[in-house]
Amino acid sequence: MTSIRACGQTDTGLAREHNEDCFAIDAESHLYVVADGMGGHSYGEVASRISVDSICTFVSRRRDPSPEDLGPPEEILRSAGYDDQLQPHSNVLKAAILAAQEQVLGAIQEDVSLRGMGTTVVGLHVSDGIAAVANVGDSRIYRIRRGEIEQLSADHTWVHEQVVAGYLSAEQARSHPLRNVVTRALGGESEVAIDVQEMAVEEADLFLLCSDGLTGMLRDEEIIELLRDEPPLEEACQNLIKAANEHGGADNITVVLVSIVSDPS
């Protein structure tokens, strides 16, 4: 038997006045979310908060549904585009992100001054030994397994598209002036494409969800180096944020670590 431990931290960094990142850990639902808001006048923090809260609420209600909360859950899931190839909880995560998109757009409609706000989101939802992973934008999720780090999510950024097309090297993308341009976000276009994938979890897997304030400052090799000795999760979060700040702290930094541990019982 395995159980899951998780820890998250967020930091404004050294250059920004506001922290527009947001994260949530829902231990009961085994749901972990990071969102990185954008938009003038600190409205980014409104978008990221709305999204994270909306996703957590959707998933927890689905776990324990009551008719007045959700209506017929199947109907809602189907309207979000039910994918028979995916596990039910992966479909729930995808529908939760679509519901979050609706919430962000709704908030913009109600208050025109919020126009232009948006947010990335990356989520991990574990059920019955299967990890559902979903993302929109450039917040990332990595898996560390047997000492190797692997980025599971693809960045929805202009520079990543150029790398895939062969016009830029990964190294050029890291320092490109347009590296922060995201091609997908919640709050932007009314239809948003969400990448969803799933994989079996193994004992000792470690997942890292983070905003680009971490990965803009630290390379994957630097991240794995900080996690190699398997420090306690809280210490590991602190070390990652400290290192990102030591490399300049140019943006808000958020990290959530999720560890699959063997259960002594």
Question: Which residues of the shown chain bind Ca ion in the complex (CB under 5 A)?
Answer: 36, 211-213, 251
Smallest separation (angstroms) from Ca ion to the CB of 207: 19
- Minimum Å gap between C-beta 80 and Ca ion is 27
Q: Which CB, 91 or 215, lies closer to Ca ion?
A: 215
Residue (36 or 45) nearer to Ca ion, CB: 36
Contact at 8 Å (CB) between 226 and 243? yes
DSSP assignment letter at 195: E
The angle subtended at Cα 64 by Cα 60 and Cα 69, nearest 5°, is 80
Strand intervals (E) in the chain: 2-11, 21-26, 31-38, 118-127, 130-136, 140-145, 148-151, 195-200, 206-210, 253-262
> Is 45 or 212 the residue whose CB approaches Ca ion more closely?
212
Nearer of residues 135 and 259 to Ca ion, judged by Cβ: 135
Q: How far is the CB of 45 from Ca ion (least distance, A)?
A: 11
Q: 173 Cβ partners below 8 Å, 6+ apart?
A: 159, 160, 162, 163, 179
Three-class SS of residue 218? coil
Choice between 91 and 211, CB closer to Ca ion: 211
Shortest CA distance to 121 belongs to which of 102, 107, 101? 101
Q: How far is the CB of 44 from Ca ion (least distance, A)?
A: 8
User: What's the closest the beta carbon of residue 59 comes to Ca ion, in angstroms?
Assistant: 24
